[in-house]
Structure 1
Amino acid sequence: MTKAVQESTPAPYDALAEAKALLRRIRAAALATLAPPDGEPFATLVNVATEPDGSPILLMSQLAAHTRHLANDPRLSLLLAQSGAGDPLAHPRLTLTGKAEKVTEPKRRAALKARFLARHPKSALYADFGDFAFFHVEIAQAHLNGGFGKTGRFDAATLLTDVQGADALLSGEADALAHMNADHKDALALYATVLAGAQHGAWQVTGIDPDGLDLADGDLTARLVFPQRVIDGEGLRKMLVELAKAARS
């Protein structure tokens, strides 16, 4: 297995933490595929969400050129880039390489659909059209460019979240999302603004995994990273109570 290598990363810059944050926060990515018959490079734009372990989820029309390319050759690259004022190259971006797998097994497809629509609710308008399909991206490598002089390279095992032993947490995700979004809006606002550094807004939680919460306010996103790994509902409850106390103090 390839080990993680951090290149030109001045302390105290944490390249892996930046890469993990981009993987969870960025809602759209540049997708590069290889067009038959000669492997001509082809780039487009796609919406992206993540599975609990961080693997990207794509929802694509099977009539699209890039989807046909992937049916011929599943290799791809995704560029997740943070935008902002000033020089675009001063902002961090994460390049992923790997393979796309169309998901048709009903239970697994339903899980991908729930995660994707939590991040992109407007996609519910066409998610079940006959020509659309959900794809799991198996990451091989990731390259972070965090801005000038800040880089890192990671394999999938280093970048992704360990979900071993977290079945109880993941199986209860839907109920936890509904409860938190209905009854704990004040706490979510604290998590987003005080702990995750986001602007004030109507924040909701869109995803839960052992490493943290994915938060969204319309087109804005934030990531709350847990200080310790959480694997079940009781651990999640205790963690969120402690984080709310920390934010209020």
Structure 2
Amino acid sequence: MKTKGEGTNQPNSLIRPTDDQARRMAKNLMRCARFGALAAIEAGTGHPLASRVAVATDLDGTPVILTSLLSGHTSAILSNPSCSLLVGEPGKGDPLAHPRVSLFCNAVPIERRSSTHESIRRRYLARHPKAELYVDFGDFAFFRLEPSRASLNGGFGKAFELQQEDLLAHVDDPERWSEMEAGAVSHMNEDHRDAVKLYAEVLCGGESANWKLACLDPEGIDLVSGDRTERLWLAEPLSRPDDVRSTLVALALQARNA
């Protein structure tokens, strides 16, 4: 008896063609992740080492972790930067029925005196405020887990292979974006909490809660309330940070009209 694909010119593959829906699903899993499973090669033994790590993202969507230099997974990625990160939270029922994405990454340490450290620190604390207790300790460091490709499982029968360009946002002038983001996030949370609440509860369909705007990037907005996270995707990516103000005003008007 012939198996599927046998005796035909078609390869026996369950991988679906990558489309915009798959790209959005993978990016959403990355942007909304509060934690993930980091897989690295244990220094000195060569054994695979899996650890749970808290996760945030850089402006372009690259996952960011904060680790102690005393931990096993830190020594692992310092010894061999090649690693993988699995993100995607299971919900009710079968955990294998829920989307998740495995990212094939290269771990890059962030120097404290580098131009990107302050931006990464601010974005990480916006997602994990309790980390402020130890973020500046001398034995803690940030790493960017720069993905080269990914394996997306959107549920049974929904497998995709994605490349770096499918996963990350294009960011012109990151320093200028970071400066804009810091001011805009502070302004919205201090003076326009009503608009932030509308973004989360009307445009994202989130539960009624004390929402805060955590992060801004060219493709969307991250909103948080305790352990809850919502991602508001923009209709079109922004090419300039100067466009953020008018976009936020338009989104608030859209939510009020809805």
Query: Do these two structures clear the TM 0.5 threshold for a shared fold by scoring above it?
Result: yes
Task: Quote the Cα distance in structure 2 between the aligned partners of 1:95 and 1:248.
Answer: 38
Matches within 5 A, 1:85-96: 85-96=92-103
Match of 1:69 among 68, 76, 80: 76
Check if 1:84 corresponds to 2:116: no
Alignment: residue pair count: 243
Pick from 189, 195, 211: which aligns with 2:203? 195
Q: Do structure 1's residue 141 and structure 2's residue 130 form an aligned pair? A: no
TM-aligned CA deviation for residue 170 of structure 1: 2.9
Measure the CA separation in 2 of the matches of 1:167 and 1:71: 26
What is the CA-CA distance between 1:234 and the residue it aligns to?
3.9
User: Structure 2 CA distance, aligned partners of 1:143 and 1:208?
Assistant: 26
CA RMSD of aligned residues (A): 2.0
| Deviation by residue 1:193-234 (Cα, 9 ceiling, x = unmatched) | 221222111111111110011110011101010112224454
* C-alpha distance 111-170 of structure 1, shift in aligned 2 (>3 A): closer
The Cα shift of 1:38 comes to 4.4
Q: What's the % identity of the aligned pairs?
A: 42
CA displacement, residues 60-105 of structure 1 (integer Å, 9 cap, x when unaligned): 0000011111111111110101221111111111110111111115
Q: Bigger radius of gyration, 1 or 2?
A: 2
**Relative to structure 2, which stretch is displaced further, 33-42 or 55-64?**
33-42
Q: 1:109 to 1:168 in 2, by over 3 A?
A: closer
Residue number in structure 1 paired with 2:3: none
Distance, in Å, in 2 between the alignment partners of 1:181 and 1:83 is: 30
Higher relative contact order, structure no. (Cα contacts within 8 Å, ≥ 6 residues apart): 1
User: Of the candidates 172, 181, 190, which is equivalent to residue 189 of structure 2?
Assistant: 181
Q: TM-score, normalised by structure 2?
A: 0.88
Equivalent position to 1:151, from 156, 159, 176: 159
Q: Which residue in the other structure is 1:19 paired with?
A: 26
Alignment of 1:94-173 (within 5 A): 94-106=101-113, 107-164=115-172, 168-173=176-181
Query: Cα gap change, 1:132/1:166 in structure 2, threshold over 3 Å: closer, same or farther?
Result: closer
Q: Which runs of 5+ in 2 are unaligned?
A: 1-13
What's the offset of the Cα at 1:10?
11
Equivalent residue letter for 1:81: G
- Is the contact made by 2:55 and 2:63 (CA closer than 8 Å) also made in structure 1? yes
